[in-house]
Structure 1
Amino acid sequence: MGKAAETFVAGFSANPDFDFEIRCVLGLAFAGASDTGEVLAAVNGIGKNDHESWFAAWDSLGDRVAAIGDASSEGGHDESAASAYLRASAYYGVAVNAVSALDSVDRLLPTFTKQRRAWERFIGTTSVDARSVEIPYENTTLPGYYFRSAAPGDAHPVLVAVNGSDGSLAALWASAVSGALARGYDALVFDGPGQQSMLFERDTTFRSDWEAVLTPVLDFVLGHAGVDADRVAVYGISQAGYWVPRALAFEHRFAAAIVDPGVVDVSTSWTSHLPKSLLKLLDENENAKFDREMALGLKLAPGAARTWNFRARPYGGLGYAETIEAVRAYSVVEEADAITTPLLITEPEDEQFWPGQSQQLAALTPTVSTVVKFTAAEGANYHCQPLARALTEQRMFDWLDAVLASK
């Protein structure tokens, strides 16, 4: 086995969370949302548990690359500026998540403000036809961005791209939007309840009934000029591998859907890390005892406590037992058989957050689902196959093109 292969298997950091994050950011390079050399230089030498240096590396890299964007913009070099702003936004996105392991969350909002500023500057300088939109939702609006393809014709197919629990819009651009535009699709991205700006700036929380979100989003798209109403598809990455199927059980107007990967029960990514004795307390409705045991355990592990608080916030900042109960509502087991939309499900080898759930979702939706496997031999293992986004893009859009061609 050669050196490159050894690096691929061993990883880029002794900290598995750092390693996976590095893989994810390196994968964005395919679509221009990162640059391999500057990423590897920034994270070089960071210790396994040095969370301050980890945050500082991404925050500083974002600052440096955003400054490149500012200089290019001031010089009238919009393409260069757009490239830098997109990368900076992606790097700040990692820094935002890195705050979860710090002693204080005081740097969260300032870092997110820089992330969003870089993204807005990307929107303002890119040659792509991109505009901010406000999507009507209940008694407010959801902030979004509509990208118009340069493809000929008055009406284009559209891909609605749904983010996961903590992804940045720059990462979503790389995961789905750039590929959609290259193939003649328009694309829409947005922050839903509990996601990014809706959480950090409006203090909203997640909701399990995602049809309440995706239906008004679809209504907005169908009311948009230049849309081929018969060819609107939806893509969901990471935790949106649950949100999209949940919505599809109630919302049947999408022409096709892709989940990357499939998620049947979100709560297993939480409960799989808890001792069986603690889970038994939950099953026996011993919530007070569960909370006491969790408080004691997390008191002895302050780093884990900070991470728990950060991850629990989008669910409403409840008590320990209440949080697990809330997350357990994020299951599509009972609703999946109502899905009638053609559904592509990615299944990466070594899926670490929801192992086996792509196949479970396919088993629940056998008449509409197609599973596409990704393997370590292809360099396409781990959650959302981070180092194989070109391969992912090819497979999902070839499938989507074929499905929509019949519409």
Structure 2
Amino acid sequence: MSLASSLFSHPHQAFSTGFYRNESFDYELRILLGHATYGASDTGEVLSALTDIGDKDYEGWYEGWFDLGSRIFEQAEASANAGHPRSASNAYLRAASYFGVAVNAVDGLSDDSVLVPTFRHHRQAWDRFVDTTQHLVERVRIPYEDTTMPGYFFRPPGEVRRPTLIMVNGSDGPISSMWVSGGAGALERGYNVLMFDGPGQQSMLFEHNVPFRHDWEAVITPVVDFLVDRPDVDASKLAMYGISQGGYWVPQALAFEHRIAAAIADPGVVDVSASWLKHIPRGMQNLLDEGKAEVFDRDMAMGMRASKDNGRLWRFRSRPYLTEGYYNTLAEVRKYRLEHVAGSITTPMLITDPEGEQFWPGQSSRLAELSGGPTTVVPFTAAEGANLHCQPMARRLTDQRMFDWLDEQLNL
């Protein structure tokens, strides 16, 4: 039975057969449904927004999430103006999630001029959540080279030194998704939480044109320097969590920065380029290996013209590298490898290993093999509702397993 016929014959099997035949739409939807766990979406809002959006309706996909974000933001403003900060905070957080999906949906449009304005809607909603939340939170600027990185430092009540979780985002997630992916769970357990935009991420990319870098230790060492000077941080109990491509950046940083007591890679990523190269024919990869940039770029351009979907995906994935040309972009991505540094890791690491990992299958186990420090590989399965990249619909289960492990590592 085909995926389509199975979906329509057995709608109750949407979890296994897919909510959308469009894999990108389906995965984004799963992420949003998982966000409801910590109040960053509402299931009915999410499902109702999909009513008229088809599998190839990229314009409708963008408009649906932007319109929903706008509507919920207006509700948040009304609650705030009426003196209901708790309701306002909840709605601002949901609006930030919906605008975050719209930001990533821009690459499906014929005109991407709405990218930065859409991002600013998202960040405005997130900042209004920060302004109205009951949690203690401080906006921070982390010194970084000749500039600063913007961040948010959340802490539980009480003037004591606490364990602190440094959260490393992935390649394209909005900062509001970090709330669901460990931030709220850490606060519940008495951790401080630092979220920030690093090079190539969110505001650093969209507003300051700062690209990704493979040597993430140059990012994390300033972050650690910033934290150890704070009177509310226990410098002996620093932990780090990386989601999606953060599963590369975290171990990369650990190979050089040894002040982290324990870390989590969700999932483990040894070679970022593997998720790119699997879509490129072997003959084209040979051109890349042989350094034939002009021929490679010519043939890639022909392929992109033949497929709008491929062109959309390339724009989405290549933007944070800020490189010119197909060859130069892939040459940069191929620097994101851990084989030559992973043996220098001494920090204990938990590595998630979800069934059906779409982007870096098998790399969690490979990272465990290469790491010079103790590792714990934790499988997640479809039977638990916890399959696919970063367990999008099982964030409570993910929190349970990673924080139980982290508490034990930090002797909490």
TM-score range relative to shorter protein: over 0.9
Find out whether 1:113 has 2:120 as its counterpart: yes
Which letter does structure 2 place at the counterpart of 1:125?
T
User: Cα offset for 1:307?
Assistant: 2.8
Q: Distance in 1 between matches of 2:31 and 2:372?
A: 31
Partner residue, 2:338? 332
**Structure 2, unpaired ranges of 5+:** 1-5
Matched residue SS, 2:213: coil
- Contact 2:342/2:372 (8 A) holds in 1: no
- Contact 2:163/2:192 (8 A) holds in 1: yes
Partner residue, 1:247? 253
Q: Distance in 2 between matches of 1:244 and 1:222?
A: 18
Find out whether 1:33 has 2:40 as its counterpart: yes
Q: Distance in 2 between matches of 1:258 and 1:156?
A: 18
Find out whether 1:302 has 2:315 as its counterpart: no
Q: Distance in 2 between matches of 1:368 and 1:212?
A: 23
Equivalent positions of 1:191-210 (< 5 A) are 191-210=197-216
Q: Distance in 2 between matches of 1:365 and 1:312?
A: 28
RMSD value, Cα? 1.4
User: For each residue in 1:289-340, what CA deviation from the matched residue of structure 2 results, as whole angstroms up to 9, or x when unmatched?
Assistant: 1111001111122342233123212112321011111000000111000000
Matched residue SS, 2:220: helix
Q: Distance in 2 between matches of 1:183 and 1:3?
A: 40
Question: Which of 252-261 and 7-16 deviates more?
Answer: 7-16
User: Cα offset for 1:101?
Assistant: 1.2
Partner residue, 2:3? none
Match of 2:104 among 93, 97, 104: 97
Partner residue, 2:64? 57
Match of 2:136 among 121, 129, 138: 129
Tell me: CA distance 1:336–1:5, structure 2 relative to 1, closer, same or farther (3 Å): farther
Partner residue, 1:84? 91
- Contact 2:142/2:226 (8 A) holds in 1: yes
Question: Which of 274-283 and 190-199 deviates more?
Answer: 274-283
Matched residue SS, 2:377: strand
User: Cα offset for 1:225?
Assistant: 2.1
User: Cα offset for 1:44?
Assistant: 2.2
- Contact 1:312/1:318 (8 A) holds in 2: no
Which letter does structure 2 place at the counterpart of 1:16?
E
Q: Distance in 1 between matches of 2:269 and 2:202?
A: 21
Equivalent positions of 1:193-232 (< 5 A) are 193-232=199-238
The two structures have a TM-score, normalised by structure 2, of 0.96
- Contact 1:206/1:314 (8 A) holds in 2: yes
- Contact 2:347/2:373 (8 A) holds in 1: no
Matched residue SS, 2:410: helix
Which letter does structure 2 place at the counterpart of 1:10?
T
Equivalent positions of 1:361-380 (< 5 A) are 361-365=367-371, 367-380=373-386
- Contact 2:344/2:372 (8 A) holds in 1: no
Tell me: CA distance 1:378–1:366, structure 2 relative to 1, closer, same or farther (3 Å): farther
| Count of residues in correspondence between the two structures | 405
Q: Distance in 2 between matches of 1:333 and 1:86?
A: 39
Which letter does structure 2 place at the counterpart of 1:250?
F
Matched residue SS, 1:169: coil
Partner residue, 1:238? 244
* Consecutive aligned runs of 4 or more in structure 1 exceeding 4 Å deviation: 1-5
The two structures have a TM-score, normalised by structure 1, of 0.97
Find out whether 1:75 has 2:82 as its counterpart: yes
- Contact 1:86/1:119 (8 A) holds in 2: yes
**Structure 1, unpaired ranges of 5+:** none
Q: Distance in 1 between matches of 2:68 and 2:99?
A: 8
User: Cα offset for 1:223?
Assistant: 1.2
Tell me: CA distance 1:298–1:251, structure 2 relative to 1, closer, same or farther (3 Å): same
Matched residue SS, 1:205: coil
User: Cα offset for 1:366?
Assistant: 6.1
Which letter does structure 2 place at the counterpart of 1:394?
Q
User: Cα offset for 1:277?
Assistant: 1.2
User: Cα offset for 1:45?
Assistant: 3.3
Between the aligned residues of both structures, percent identity stands at 55
User: Cα offset for 1:382?
Assistant: 0.2
Tell me: CA distance 1:78–1:343, structure 2 relative to 1, closer, same or farther (3 Å): same
Partner residue, 1:154? 160
